[in-house]
Chain A
Amino acid sequence: MTIRCKLGFAAAALGLAVSATGTAMAGEVLDRIREEGVLRVSTDPAYPPQSSQTPDGSFEGFDIDVATELAARMGVEVEFVTPAWEIITAGNWGGRWDVSVGSMTPTAQRAEVLDFPAIYYYTPAALVVHADSAAESVEDLNGTTIGTCGGCTYDNYLNHNLEIDAQDVPPFEYVVEPGEIRTYETDTNVFDDLRLGDGVRLDAGISALPTIQAAIDAGYPLRVVGEPVFYEPLSVATDKGDAELNAEVARIIEEMRDDGTLSGFSETWYGVDISSVQ
């Protein structure tokens, strides 16, 4: 009996000791990046033109270019990992990867588990309908069924509870009152339901204007309605706790904006410069 008790205590003590090593120390991540010479970047290759996968398994897109340049200016190699979006936004990366250059909007909720050191561009969000739709303006979509990604900023916008936690957020208004919101795993699923026909499953969808344009270019029978409803800042994200890494990322992104590198990438992938506030 005594032996069993002792064993129990030992196991508990071991558990505590192990758990104490889990939290990130200041500068720890940056030190490791420099030591190993590799910057691990999470990317979600489901979003052309930000990030998509080529047939040989490598990546391309705006986010990919920004991340590659970020690593180059840190003097290290870049390496991409592809965890699902909800794994990235759950935080507590535990050193599995160092930064997310994944077009993430710094919302108040996400800022509780992640740091957002640097905004690197601003993407317009727009409403999209089937080419046959009669809707001419955003107001025409009031009361209709609108599709979007679940738990994302577009979902928040449709629910009128979008809180972006960053400086220089362009002001916006809630101009549409959906009758019903249908949420999907990701907003590109919305296009697939929308292409079935006007009103078959959805009357409209909301997504990033560049993503909508990419779908239209790929032959989807879609049409953008009205002007963009809001511009969201998109940021590099890091795990909580490494101020030195954050400062370094912020410095490099600022540098890339000042010397026109971001504008150049933006022109390449979006055809317009959206690297600064509109």
Chain B
Amino acid sequence: MAEQAGAAPPPPALPQRQGLGERPLRRWLIIFGALTVVCFAIGLGDGQLSRLVMPVLGFGEAAAGTLMERALMAVLAGVLLTLNAMVIRLMPLAVQIGVVWVELLLVFLAFFYSFDLSFPYIVERLPILIFTGAFTTIYVSLISIACACVVAMAGALARLSKSGPAFAIATFYISFFRGTPLLLQVYIIYLGLPQIGVTLDPVPSGIIALTLCYGAYMAEIFRAGIQSIPKGQTEAGLSLGLHNWLIMRKIVLPQAIKVIVPPTGNQFIAMLKDSSLVSILGVWELMFLARTQGRAEFKHFEMLITAALIYWAISMVFELIQARIERHYGKSDVR
């Protein structure tokens, strides 16, 4: 008993819990200071916010536009932002992520809202933007990515083959189409091919340009994917007496696809937006309609912002699809 009472060393001092969320108060102060300085520098709250708050704080019209007003608003914004960060840190991780997403989205929407947009104008033109514009963007991109996958696979196999001409053609193709702007390729295919008698319509021209350009990028992705499979796999197949093509189809490719899918999904999302370059040919995809509809009554922002949000929504859907495909091919990783 005595031993326990007397000789027991004092319990090791727990690290002092200062401030919230295990972050020392000093660090919170630094964060607060930095936020305030930033708010002051960008003049946050000079507008409507200050007109709302200043009278509450007991300042009259005289304070409007002064340096003091700006400083006060900056401090206020700094306090709010720091408190916000402190509260968020107390939440579980999943909630933290959700809350920050929603907050950023609100800031984003507030930014757009501040443009004083005409919502009836947007609503009136939403059908054509979605049913003609987004529809065209999606189908042009889907056809192009499908064709690009075929081209890329052919390019990658040729690039890896031991045949001189095949290697030369593949590297020449990849080099040219990766080394020139897509816009230029669209022009060359649409304006250049008629010079040799091949007159293509805008949509096929656009699809060919997107296919060739993205096929070149993706050929390198496919090649890297194939090369990432250890040589031993091929050798094992050979020792079983399998034919080269069968080894590629049944052993190498199924494993390579897992590596290929994420960057290919990335390419597809990039293509969704690059397909807007086809608008110069007069294809009524999303960007074309956003521009012409906006110019009809000089309401560019209404249409551009709407188009941006539609593009974003489409990308998110395809991100989800990509995640599903990845899960499907990633089954071998699940323990």
Chain A positions within 8 Å of B124 at CB level: 55
Chain B positions within 8 Å of A45 at CB level: 292, 295-296
- The A/B interface has a contact count, at CB < 8 Å, of 84
Bound Cα distance from A56 to B127, whole angstroms: 8
Residue of A whose beta carbon sits closest to that of B125: A55
A84 touches B198 (CB 8 A): no
A21 touches B296 (CB 8 A): no
Chain B positions within 8 Å of A21 at CB level: 197
A218 touches B297 (CB 8 A): yes
A94 touches B298 (CB 8 A): no
Residue of A whose beta carbon sits closest to that of B123: A55
Bound Cα distance from A192 to B191, whole angstroms: 31
Which of B191, B195, B284 has the most A CB atoms < 10 Å from its CB? B191
B292 touches A82 (CB 8 A): yes
Contacting residue for A47 out of B196, B295, B297, CB 8 A: B295
B282 touches A84 (CB 8 A): yes
Chain B positions within 8 Å of A219 at CB level: 298
What DSSP secondary structure best describes chain B's contact surface? helix
Bound Cα distance from A214 to B297, whole angstroms: 8
Q: A56-B128, A83-B202 are in contact. Are A192 and B300 (CB under 8 A)?
A: yes
Interface residues on B, range: 20 to 34
Give residues 79-120 of B contacting A (CB, 8 Å): none
Bound Cα distance from A94 to B284, whole angstroms: 21
Q: List 14 A-B contacts (CB under 8 A).
A: A18-B196, A20-B197, A22-B199, A42-B282, A45-B292, A55-B127, A57-B128, A82-B282, A84-B279, A87-B190, A87-B280, A94-B199, A96-B199, A215-B298
Give residues 279-300 of B contacting A (CB, 8 Å): 279-282, 284, 288-289, 291-293, 295-300
Q: Mark B181-194 against chain A: 1 for CB-CB distance below 8 A, else 0.
A: 00000000011001
Interface residues on A, range: 35 or more
| B201 CB-CB contact with A under 8 Å | yes
| Residue positions of A touching B, CB distance < 8 A | 15, 18-22, 42, 45-48, 52-57, 81-84, 86-87, 90, 92, 94-96, 188, 191-192, 214-215, 218-220
| B132 CB-CB contact with A under 8 Å | yes
Name the distance in Å between A237's Cβ and chain B's nearest Cβ: 16
Bound Cα distance from A220 to B295, whole angstroms: 13
Q: A15-B196, A18-B198, A55-B124 are in contact. Are A84 and B297 (CB under 8 A)?
A: no
B284 touches A82 (CB 8 A): yes
- 9 closest A-B pairs by beta carbon, nearest first, are A94-B194, A218-B298, A18-B197, A84-B280, A82-B282, A52-B296, A94-B199, A83-B282, A22-B197
Bound Cα distance from A42 to B282, whole angstroms: 9
Bound Cα distance from A72 to B144, whole angstroms: 39
B194 touches A92 (CB 8 A): yes
